[in-house]
Structure 1
Amino acid sequence: MRSMLRSKIHRATVTERRLDYEGSITIDVDLLERSGIWVGEKVLIANVNNGKRLETYTLPGERGSGIIALNGAAAHLCNLGDKIIIMGFELTDEPIHAKVVLVDDENKVKRELTY
């Protein structure tokens, strides 16, 4: 079994930081659906601005809002306006093609592609 990239939201902008929260990342439901990332799924987040990486799980955000909110401990690793990459992986014995969603500065989908 190999851990393969399955889904990615590329260069999303952090819109909120909620320090007093249980944890996780809140993502606009539109982005979750377009990328194929599920609510509650473990994701790897890479901060483009400072190079930090973290793992957490996803929570649904208001549809169409563009929300990308880092919650709890994860909020200490990102600043408002930071660009992040959100990645979901799959354990598989077969090669897979990752779905990639590229977003603009308001976290609206500008392009989709596969790797």
Structure 2
Amino acid sequence: MQIALMKGKIHRASVTQADLHYEGSISIDRALMDAAGFLVNERVEIYNIDTGARFATYVIEAPQGSGMIGLNGAAARLAMIGDKVIIVAYASCEEVEARAFTPRVVLVDEENRILPS
């Protein structure tokens, strides 16, 4: 049996950009991607803390150290610049592996800089 687990998340990130006319996706600072274990083109769920909106898209890389969390395409209608979001990736694994797995949780400050854990 496959179990779906949270693989990694970025918690309470601030949306820094919204581009309705871009192809689609979420642009995430490379440093945040690496810390959360996200891959380019990986599906992520986004939970808007301010509005309650929940949606899925895929990850594209933003410049490392930029602090960028940019919603593109249709996703840009679901959050405004300054909204707080939680970005989560999930993975499937066998139950034995699931019991031993530890997800990566990345906490950030107001400027999307990684906080010490």
Q: Please, what TM-score do these two structures have when normalized by structure 1?
A: 0.95
Aligned-partner SS, 1:111:
coil
> What is the match of residue 48 of structure 1?
49
Instruction: Give the letter aligned to residue 34 of structure 2.
Output: E
Compute the RMSD of aligned alpha carbons: 0.7
User: Which structure shows the bigger proportion of residues in helix conformation?
Assistant: 2
> What is the match of residue 80 of structure 1?
81
Instruction: Give the letter aligned to residue 116 of structure 2.
Output: R
* Larger-Rg structure: 2
Work out which of the residue numbers 105, 112, 115 in structure 2 matches 1:100.
Answer: 105
> What is the match of residue 58 of structure 1?
59
> What is the match of residue 8 of structure 1?
9
> What is the match of residue 19 of structure 1?
20
Aligned-partner Cα distance in 1 for 2:35–2:102? 15
User: After the TM superposition, which parts of structure 1 deviate over 4 Å for at least 4 consecutive aligned residues?
Assistant: none
The answer to whether the aligner puts 1:110 opposite 2:115 as a matched pair is yes
Aligned-partner Cα distance in 1 for 2:17–2:89? 21
Count of aligned pairs: 112
Deviates more, 1:81-90 or 1:92-101: 92-101
Aligned-partner SS, 1:109:
coil
The Cα of 1:2 is off from its aligned counterpart by: 1.2
The Cα of 1:86 is off from its aligned counterpart by: 0.3
Q: Please, what TM-score do these two structures have when normalized by structure 2?
A: 0.93
Aligned-partner Cα distance in 1 for 2:35–2:86? 15
User: Which structure shows the bigger proportion of residues in strand conformation?
Assistant: 1
Aligned-partner Cα distance in 2 for 1:45–1:110? 20
Aligned-partner Cα distance in 2 for 1:111–1:72? 32
Unaligned runs of 5+ in 2: none
Instruction: Give the letter aligned to residue 63 of structure 2.
Output: E
Instruction: Give the letter aligned to residue 105 of structure 2.
Output: V
Residue identity (%) = 45
